[in-house]
Amino acid sequence: MRDATANDDLRLVRPRYCIWENVPGALSSGKPKGADFQAVLTEFIRIAEPDAPDVPLPEKGWSKSGVLMGDTWSLAYKLHDAQYWGVPQRRKRICVLIDYCGHTAPGILYGTELRRNAEDVESDQAE
């Protein structure tokens, strides 16, 4: 599915996005601690860059969010709690989003545009 079309135009390669969701334990599973999440991120990136090196394993463990960028791709991950998404319970989940044809993953996952629009509305209301 990721093979380029006859003219090698990256915009025509599908799918553009990949989403992965799991329990927060994914951040610390494996030996050494966190190696499984490292493998997941590395393999997602290798879909875009087959010769990419392994994603570095943080000495102090994975943070609750992060961004990785390449020349033509972006990857963002974040720990979410379902109680803030309309579910009447606390349920944490880790989400990974990769954009294989651009740098939109952080904005989509972190809601940059949504936050900016909300700040604009608050500014307008204060005036």
Q: What is the pLDDT of residues 72-83, one digit of tens each?
A: 899 999 998 888
For residue 41, pLDDT over 90 is answered with: yes
For residue 42, pLDDT over 70 is answered with: yes
Helix runs in the chain, H state only: 35-48, 105-110, 112-126
CA dist., res. 21 & res. 93, Å (int):
7
Q: What is the pTM of this model?
A: 0.76
Going by pLDDT thresholds of 50, 70 and 90, the confidence category of residue 89 is confident
Task: Considering only residues 31 and 6, tell me which one the structure prediction assigns the higher pLDDT.
Answer: 31
Going by pLDDT thresholds of 50, 70 and 90, the confidence category of residue 126 is very low
Q: How far is CA 120 from the centre of its chain?
A: 26
For residue 31, pLDDT over 90 is answered with: yes
Rounded (10°) CA dihedral 76, 81, 84, 86: 110
Going by pLDDT thresholds of 50, 70 and 90, the confidence category of residue 91 is confident
